[in-house]
């Protein structure tokens, strides 16, 4: 038996060797050095981040690895990787969202810092603002004549818009939550908060869009007459010739900028700093304004915004997030069960 076993072992090793002879040849490449790498987590849409990443790569020769997802997901991922950061840069995410995660960011002052005077800019430079875009209403020109458009948040609470408003779920969409908070701040002078919430939720008729992109689809297709979204989305589709119009709420709207942050303990710190400088450089800011339908964050470059803006209380919005979402959920589901 022992001899048989030995023979089997010999045969097996022969066959393994013969297979080994047929091993494939790997195409050989120089390994990419670490100083040529940058890992970017982004919540921007591809049409926003792609030109920036490409231009950054072309100008610096640095390879950028992009991981794109929703802003909440990205920030949570960064927080969960705090011990061993994978990301170098968080590109995108509202100032209010970034504000809640400043402990995971490496403060860095960009060279043109004095040009960024936005009230939302963090004092400790834990993140750097990127662009501005107000919360606006969009309407389908076939369904609503411009004279009949809702002029302010309070109008959306009126019964005539019941079932005609497209609004993304504020629990998923950062901009929808910002819009909800904006509405609460604008309308709280006039009415009780619960009443505002209930009337608005009632007008949604128990239906929410999954994402802010779906809001535009609903309005463009005519499923809903008006929608609440950001300015850049409306301008983008307007530019593509869609039959839609934009309304800046007369009773005031929030202009919450988004930003870029370096992750604390980033492996490619120098490249991350280069990237931050790049996002606020003149060319990049011009591009976001000329081709990204957004407003530059830089005072020397930004176009005038003649709308009634309110001060958006980021601290309040962040602290009351759970409470506001729960109230909204309650009001929404209450309306939902009614026939």
Partner 1 sequence: MITASFRRELLVCFVIAALVPLMISSICLVSLFQNRVERSMEEDAANHLESISTTLEETMTGMDTLLDTLSQKDAIRVGITTDDSWEKNQAYTTLYGSTGNYRDYATFEVYDVNGHCLYTTRTAGNSGDLPVYWGILKEAGVHADNMVVARASRYVHGDVCLQAARGIVDEEDNLIGYLLVGMTGANIETLIAREDQTAGGFAIMDETWNKVYCSSYVGQTDMVEQLRSRVFSGSPLRQKGDTYFTYLQSVDGYPFYVAVGERDIFTGEFSRILIHVLGVLTLGAVLVCMAVSGVMSKYLAKPVYELVSVMQKVRQGQLEERVHSTRHDEFGMLSDTFDGMTEDLKEYMEIQVRQQKEINDVTIAAMQAQLNPHFLYNTLDTMKWVAKAKSVPELANMASDLANILRTSISGDRFIRLAEELQLVKSYMKIQQIRFENSFSYDVEVPMELEYFKIPKLIIQPVVENALIHGLKGREHGHIFVNIYDESEMLYIEVSDDGCGMPQEEMERINRGEVAKEREVGRRRHIGLDSIAKILKLYYGETAGVSVRPGEEGGTLVTLFFPRNKEG
Residues that bind partner 1 (CB under 8 A): 1, 4, 8, 11, 14-15, 18-19, 21-22, 24, 26-27, 29, 31-32, 37, 46-47, 50-51, 54-55, 57-58, 61, 63-65, 282-283, 286-287, 290-291
Q: Which is nearer to partner 1, 58 or 323 (CB)?
A: 58
The least CB distance from residue 55 to partner 1, in Å, is: 6
Q: What is the dihedral of CA 319, 78, 128, 120, to 10 degrees?
A: -10
Which is nearer to partner 1, 301 or 310 (by Cβ)?
301
What is the closest distance, in whole angstroms, from the C-beta atom of residue 23 to partner 1 in the complex? 9
To partner 1, the closest distance from the beta carbon of 192 in angstroms equals 46
Nearer to partner 1, 47 or 119 (CB): 47
Give the shortest CB-120-to-partner 1 separation in angstroms: 26
Residue with smaller CB distance to partner 1, 17 or 123: 17
Of residues 24 and 84, the one with the C-beta less far from partner 1: 24
**Residue nearer to partner 1 on the CB measure, 50 or 217:** 50
For residue 143, give the 3-state DSSP assignment: coil
Calpha distance 66→91 (Å, rounded): 10
CB-based contact 305:295 (threshold 8 Å): yes
Distance from C-alpha of 16 to C-alpha of 22, rounded to nearest angstrom = 10
Beta bridge partners of 253: 309
Torsion of CA 97, 150, 226, 134, to 10 degrees: -30
Residue 262 three-state SS: strand
**Main-chain phi, psi angles of 106, to 5 degrees:** -95, 115
- Shortest CB 31 distance to partner 1, Å: 5
User: How far is C-alpha 92 from the geometric centre of its chain's CA atoms?
Assistant: 6
Sign, Cα dihedral of 198, 204, 205, 207? negative
Q: Supply the minimum distance, in Å, between the C-beta of residue 235 and partner 1.
A: 14
How many residues comprise the chain? 339
């Amino acid at each position: 038996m022992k001899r048989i076993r030995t023979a089997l072992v010999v045969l097996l090793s022969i066959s393994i060797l013969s297979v080994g002879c047929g091993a494939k040849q790997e195409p050989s490449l120089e390994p990419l050095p670490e100083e040529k790498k940058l890992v970017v987590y982004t919540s921007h849409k591809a049409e926003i981040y792609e030109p920036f990443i490409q231009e950054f790569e072309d100008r610096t020769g640095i390879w950028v690895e992009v991981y794109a997802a929703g802003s909440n997901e990205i920030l949570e991922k960064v927080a969960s990787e705090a011990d061993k950061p994978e990301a170098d840069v968080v590109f995108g995410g509202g100032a209010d969202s970034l504000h809640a995660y400043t402990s995971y960011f490496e403060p860095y002052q960009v060279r043109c810092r004095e040009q960024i005077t936005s009230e939302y800019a963090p004092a400790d430079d834990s993140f750097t603002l990127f662009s501005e875009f107000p919360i606006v209403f969009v309407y389908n020109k076939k369904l609503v004549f411009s004279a009949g458009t809702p002029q302010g948040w309070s109008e959306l609470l009126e019964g005539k818009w019941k079932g005609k408003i497209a609004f993304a779920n504020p629990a998923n969409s950062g901009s929808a939550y910002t819009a909800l908070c904006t509405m609460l701040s604008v309308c709280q002078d006039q009415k009780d908060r619960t009443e505002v919430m209930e009337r608005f939720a009632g007008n949604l008729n128990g239906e929410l869009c999954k994402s802010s992109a779906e809001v535009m689809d609903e309005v463009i297709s005519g499923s809903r007459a008006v929608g609440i979204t950001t300015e850049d989305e409306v301008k983008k589709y307007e530019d593509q010739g869609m039959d839609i119009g934009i309304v800046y709420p007369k009773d005031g709207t929030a202009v919450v900028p988004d930003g870029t942050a370096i992750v604390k303990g980033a492996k490619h710190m120098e490249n991350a700093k280069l990237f931050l400088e790049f996002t606020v450089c003149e060319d990049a800011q011009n591009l976001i304004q000329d081709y990204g339908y957004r407003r530059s964050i830089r005072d020397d470059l930004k176009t005038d915004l003649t709308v009634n803006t309110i001060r958006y209380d980021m601290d309040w919005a962040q602290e009351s997030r759970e409470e506001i979402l729960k109230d909204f959920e309650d009001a929404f589901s209450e309306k939902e069960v009614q026939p």
